[in-house]
Amino acid sequence: MANKVKREPIPEVIEAIDALGGNAAVAAMTDVGLSTVSQWKHRGFPPETYKLIADALSKQKRSASLNMWPKMRRRKDRRPHS
């Protein structure tokens, strides 16, 4: 049986979810289940949520750090250098 790696929570994601009204509000906003939002606290937001969440945070005068979207950061890091 494979061991699951325990991921540490991502503080910026937790703060963003709280700022947007909590798990239930973010689940409704992104059309996912509560357990999915809970998983995001450890995995980060998926790339397809960037515009929606960044816009919602912006309306509250909050910034949206790319640290909250780890998969987007990895994609950016993989781009070839000129």
Structural domains of the chain sorted by starting position, each given as residue range(s) with its CATH number in brackets: 11-77 (1.10.260)
Phi-psi region of 47 (alpha: psi -120 to 50; beta: other; left: phi over 0): alpha
Annotate 27-72 with DSSP letters as a single string: HHHHT--HHHHHHHHHH---GGGHHHHHHHHHHTT----GGG-HHH
Q: Which residues contact 40 (CB under 8 A, 6 or more apart)?
A: 13, 17, 46
For the chain, give the number of residues: 82
Taking the model in full, what pTM does it have?
0.81
- The pLDDT, as a whole number, for residue 77 is 52
Identity at 9, one-letter amino acid code: P
pLDDT in tens, 20-66: 999 999 999 999 999 999 999 999 999 999 999 999 999 999 999 98
